Structure 1
């Protein structure tokens, strides 16, 4: 189908009918999905992952992407490109993973996806693994290699390492040759991290976890810290950083409002002689245009394509495996978000739509 022939199409979707708890405001409805515009594709969705940001968006707490109901949440989509807008026609018929336009609309059997974010999936990668590799491994690659300059033999500290992005950083860090210290909040999650290959596992809910990390590094501190938690975990991690270390600020799972918080003091950074590195991954076709309009520095699509090849090769050769904690049934999506918010899940939660099989 070419871009001139595409018409709106009906889709099965989970719709946020109001702002609030997902189990209370999400309703399964039939929605109309528009035709793709220039630089967009419409994907017949087979699977997608659940994200903490989805929860914050549904609750109306994510100020970076404020949405007014009704809307379809969902920041990722795996499926077949069914139609394409101008400039993206070459993608029709390909099985891809990508980010829906404006990072919502993925909880549906059809989604409009930004063509700049689209990545091909080879036949040997399942829909579930395709969903589970996308954000954790691409975010992890960008964070650890591009921003953190992680080298083989260095010590990597990964917070919330049993979660979706943390588990990805853990296994990717091991694949890149790092010694990994994982933190988590329960004994079960610590054991989960050890099974993923963590060299050491530390409970960051214990008041002495900083001292434990320093003991494990023989007083030197860590070379790189992957921190998608924020808040007190971040400020405590500053005490763990080694000379010339790189602290990767990759998220705010503790509380999304920390994005605009003032809880960080320059003193420990200045006197600690370590770097604090922002990590925000969105592949775009024109990084300079984004810089001019939004003031953000985002990587080019070409960098994403290069990272994708390297990630797939690590997977093909068995050095990297996805961490799928649960394959969620379509009907159980709201309940899965509730369990994720309550920190009752591990790894990536992948939803199969059951459509287009």
Structure 2
């Protein structure tokens, strides 16, 4: 039995764990009324994230889910109703993270109010979705965590992808000299179009040597690494004195995230910093620190970053990296293509209600 304030919504549901193209099914789901600190959004658009694939396959141990569930870690739409504390957002168009980071692949979604960021009228739904995680994460990683300075050299791995493209764009906006890695000539060209100063194919056996040569033997000042595995270990050899290696993800070994493959010698002898990056805006960072042991930025910090990023977008100093605009029916196949590393930039789904 459902609450009278619940809504029925069309959604893509993971009916079991496995390949998205095989286990996703279109169904109607119940979206409950928002509780305190939550908002319910009439969804206009959302992006496909690689972590969505990890969740659907059951290999994301940070956030394990049991089917059936609706994937989707981001959403753009108009706030239709709100719980205590967020009534002022009703009628506003926002981008945010659904409750417990899933539920976005639906016509309506419950969103954590602390993550909701308002979008101006001049920004389209597509650009609003495409700016959210890549640009906010890139800003937090490079501006806040790495303190990237103009004139420094930044190495960005998987720079043609959704997350990497954001780091490339923000790095250039902050005045860095950017070395981008990617795995094909098509993707390298895409990185050039986004503004990369140098591109390196990470499939080349000597890619580390190429990066070091591009720094005249000095190594890079900052590395943005959301890949993990052997790429992380090889990147240690690219780091310069007092460099900052940003660990923003580990797609190569998502199932090994708690196993520990990093040893201290490379950092100690290399005299560089290893910097963790996890971006979740919360209302009470102290409470999160006490309960989970994590350090997550406050909502107020996210709002300040949002204003700065919107101004950079408005003035044309940065842009979003939209690879493809997708329809609702294309989602399973698009996730398959993303998993096979066949996509570039952000894949944005736009809901057409006719």
TM normalised by structure 1 equals: 0.97
Which residue number in structure 2 is paired with residue 145 of structure 1? 143
Separation in 2 of the partners of 1:66 and 1:236?
Answer: 29
Aligned residues: 352
Which residue number in structure 2 is paired with residue 213 of structure 1? 211
Q: CA deviation at 1:207?
A: 1.1
Give deviations 1:114-173, integer Å, cap 9, x for gaps.
000000000110000000000000000000011110011110000000000001110111
Give deviations 1:161-207, integer Å, cap 9, x for gaps.
00000011101111111100000011111111111110000011111
Which residue number in structure 2 is paired with residue 307 of structure 1? 305
Among candidates 304, 314, 317, match of residue 316 of structure 1? 314
RMSD: 1.0
Which residue number in structure 2 is paired with residue 234 of structure 1? 232
Separation in 2 of the partners of 1:96 and 1:121?
Answer: 5
Separation in 1 of the partners of 2:276 and 2:315?
Answer: 31
Separation in 2 of the partners of 1:257 and 1:297?
Answer: 23
Which residue number in structure 1 is paired with residue 191 of structure 2? 193
Which residue number in structure 2 is paired with residue 262 of structure 1? 260
User: Unmatched 5+ residue regions in structure 1?
Assistant: none
Which residue number in structure 2 is paired with residue 285 of structure 1? 283
Separation in 2 of the partners of 1:264 and 1:114?
Answer: 33
Q: CA deviation at 1:87?
A: 1.1
Which residue number in structure 2 is paired with residue 158 of structure 1? 156
2:34 is paired with a residue of what secondary structure? Answer: coil
Which residue number in structure 2 is paired with residue 244 of structure 1? 242
Separation in 1 of the partners of 2:40 and 2:56?
Answer: 23
Which residue number in structure 2 is paired with residue 174 of structure 1? 172
Which residue number in structure 1 is paired with residue 53 of structure 2? 55
Runs of 4+ aligned residues of structure 1 deviating over 4 Å after TM superposition are: none
Q: CA deviation at 1:6?
A: 7.7
TM normalised by structure 2 equals: 0.98
Separation in 2 of the partners of 1:257 and 1:143?
Answer: 23
Separation in 1 of the partners of 2:241 and 2:279?
Answer: 26
Q: CA deviation at 1:253?
A: 1.7
1:191 is paired with a residue of what secondary structure? Answer: helix
Q: CA deviation at 1:261?
A: 2.9
